[in-house]
């Protein structure tokens, strides 16, 4: 029986992971399920899946979790340290689906066990790519990408000689403003940016999609995970969101991964890897779809892409600064403190200001990364506070 933990079980990726596990329940022993604040969802999952431990990150809810799980045989724990400790419990496979930099340390602990980490959490590779890859390497652990673009690249590379790869292309829907004239973007409201042309997702990721900060994070993840030179990674706008990524080889072949926009494909691929097993996702009818379209990405319309390239060139702690500054700028935009088009400028100024703290190209440890994360948030807030005056 495979021992499995799901970090961020109560979120969208976590719930989709449990949906796949539920279909073959007897094959798994669930070690830990963790949630952030959603006590009701965590309780329901714990009573269904009977993990060894259920952990809620919000420590004020420990007594309520204990009461809800009384008599079930499931241990209850709470707090940030308890989430990290849960990652020390031996497993064969774990899902990293906590949102934000809080997902970094549990993921590192799973890698230190030498286990397999299915990685959805974007911040892990953006903020700490060199540390994470080195930790996996030194402990014989495996990382499997879960973001659909990276899973697509991973699948297209299967069985190929890395030396034959010329380029990697990740696609982007283009978000809410792909057809807006560039000069009108400064006037975009939070409501405008919170509407995605293709998907109904959470507000923050929808705005990150409109600004392409989400794609910028994915560019950095592609570089860190696959070790591909930034100059050979391209972003292609593909409004239908059915081709997730393409890999170009030295004989001119482009291997494209085409699939439905359903996270259970990438999650299921990581869950069953190295096998392929039947998954409950839609089978695409390309004749009915008829046509797919592509257009070049544009670093003037989406300056986040330019900043991602600068971050990759800088290395060291630049990714941690970029991620944290972007989170704070997004908070500022949602709160009405800055405009949509100001977000990239705020991030750029924080990157400039903290460039001396990046530590050059040397990989940083976890503590140094967390210090940079905090400094970048403070600096971004300081810059935005000055906007109001």
Tell which one of 263, 267, 271, 364 touches ligand NDP (CB under 6 A): 263
Q: Which of the residues 131 through 170 are near ligand NDP (CB under 6 A)?
A: 147
**Of residues 35 and 316, the one with the C-beta less far from ligand NDP:** 35
**Of residues 147 and 224, the one with the C-beta less far from ligand NDP:** 147
| 10 near ligand NDP (CB under 6 A) | yes
**Of residues 270 and 383, the one with the C-beta less far from ligand NDP:** 270
Question: For residue 266, what are its two tokens?
Answer: 């990438």
Q: Which of the residues 66 through 85 are near ligand NDP (CB under 6 A)?
A: 83
Q: How far is the CB of 226 from ligand NDP (least distance, A)?
A: 16
Tell which one of 74, 120, 193, 233 touches ligand NDP (CB under 6 A): 120
Q: Are 320 and 366 in contact (CB under 8 A)?
A: no
Tell which one of 5, 11, 235, 330 touches ligand NDP (CB under 6 A): 11
Residue 38 to residue 59: CA distance in whole angstroms: 12
Residue nearest to ligand NDP (CB): 11
**Of residues 11 and 259, the one with the C-beta less far from ligand NDP:** 11
Stretch that binds ligand NDP, among 5-13, 285-293, 309-317, 375-383 (CB under 6 A): 5-13
| 316 near ligand NDP (CB under 6 A) | no
Residue 7 to residue 24: CA distance in whole angstroms: 19
Tell which one of 18, 20, 28, 35 touches ligand NDP (CB under 6 A): 35
Q: How far is the CB of 125 from ligand NDP (least distance, A)?
A: 10
Q: Which of the residues 83 through 102 are near ligand NDP (CB under 6 A)?
A: 83, 97-100, 102
**Of residues 123 and 379, the one with the C-beta less far from ligand NDP:** 123
Long-range own/partner contacts, residues 36-44 (CB < 8 A, 24 or more apart): 36/8, 36/10, 36/11, 36/98, 36/99, 36/102, 37/61, 38/10, 39/64, 39/65, 39/68, 41/9, 41/10, 41/15, 42/9, 42/10, 43/68, 43/69
Give the closest residue to 226 by CA, choosing from 304, 119, 97, 95: 119
Number of residues that bind ligand NDP (CB under 6 A): 24
| 14 near ligand NDP (CB under 6 A) | yes
| 338 near ligand NDP (CB under 6 A) | no
* DSSP-assigned letters across all residues of 195-214: --SS----HHHHHHHHHTHH
Q: Which distant-in-sequence residues (6+ apart) come within 8 Å of 118 by Cβ?
A: 17, 93, 94, 95, 96, 144, 146, 267, 270, 271
Stretch that binds ligand NDP, among 32-40, 177-185, 291-299, 369-377 (CB under 6 A): 32-40
Q: Is the peptide bond before 311 cis (omega within 30 degrees of 0)?
A: no
Helix (H, G, I), strand (E, B) or coil at 360: coil
Q: How far is the CB of 39 from ligand NDP (least distance, A)?
A: 8
Tell which one of 87, 94, 110, 122 touches ligand NDP (CB under 6 A): 122
Residue 372 to residue 112: CA distance in whole angstroms: 23
* CA dihedral of 214, 242, 132, 346, whole degrees rounded to 10: -10
Tell which one of 18, 36, 94, 178 touches ligand NDP (CB under 6 A): 36
**Of residues 147 and 379, the one with the C-beta less far from ligand NDP:** 147
Radius of gyration over alpha carbons of the chain, in Å? 21
* DSSP-assigned letters across all residues of 71-137: TTT-EEEESHHHHHHHTTS--SEEEE---SGGGHHHHHHHHHTT-EEEE--SHHHHHHHHHHHHHHH
**Of residues 125 and 380, the one with the C-beta less far from ligand NDP:** 125
Which spans of this chain sit near ligand NDP (rule: CB under 6 A)? 8-14, 35-38, 57, 83, 97-100, 102, 120-122, 147, 202, 263
């Amino acid at each position: 029986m495979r021992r499995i933990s799901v970090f961020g079980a109560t979120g969208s990726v976590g719930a989709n992971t449990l949906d796949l596990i539920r279909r073959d329940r007897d094959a798994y022993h669930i070690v830990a399920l963790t949630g952030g604040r959603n006590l009701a969802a965590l309780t329901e999952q714990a009573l269904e899946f009977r993990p060894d431990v259920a952990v809620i990150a919000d420590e004020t809810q420990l007594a309520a979790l204990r009461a809800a799980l009384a008599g079930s045989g499931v241990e209850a724990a709470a707090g940030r340290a308890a989430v990290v400790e849960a990652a020390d419990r031996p497993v064969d496979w774990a899902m990293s689906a906590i949102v934000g930099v809080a997902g970094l340390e549990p993921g590192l602990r799973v890698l230190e066990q030498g286990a397999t980490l299915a990685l959805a959490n974007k911040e892990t590779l953006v903020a700490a790519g060199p540390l994470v890859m080195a930790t996996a390497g030194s402990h014989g652990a495996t990382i499997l990408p879960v973001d659909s673009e990276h899973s697509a690249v991973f699948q297209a590379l299967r069985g190929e000689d890395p030396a034959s790869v010329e380029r990697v292309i990740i696609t982007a829907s283009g978000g809410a403003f792909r057809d807006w004239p560039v000069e009108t973007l400064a006037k975009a409201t939070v409501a405008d940016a919170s509407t995605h042309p293709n998907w109904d997702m959470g507000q923050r990721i929808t705005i990150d999609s409109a600004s392409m900060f989400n794609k910028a994070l994915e560019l950095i993840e592609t570089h860190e995970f696959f070790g591909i030179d930034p100059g050979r990674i391209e972003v292609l706008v593909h409004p239908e969101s059915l081709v997730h990524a393409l890999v170009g080889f030295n004989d001119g072949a482009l291997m494209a991964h085409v699939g439905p926009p359903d996270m259970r494909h990438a999650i299921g691929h990581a869950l069953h890897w190295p096998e392929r097993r039947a998954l409950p996702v839609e089978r695409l009818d390309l004749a009915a779809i008829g046509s797919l379209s592509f257009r070049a990405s544009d670093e003037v319309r989406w300056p986040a892409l330019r900043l991602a390239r600068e971050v990759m060139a800088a290395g060291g702690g630049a990714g941690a600064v970029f991620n944290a500054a972007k989170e704070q700028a997004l908070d500022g935009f949602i709160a009405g403190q800055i405009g949509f088009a100001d977000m990239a400028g705020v991030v750029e100024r924080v990157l400039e200001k903290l460039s001396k703290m990046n530590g050059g190209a040397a990989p940083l440890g976890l503590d140094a990364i967390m210090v940079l994360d905090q400094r970048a948030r403070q600096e971004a807030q300081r810059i935005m506070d000055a906007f109001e005056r």
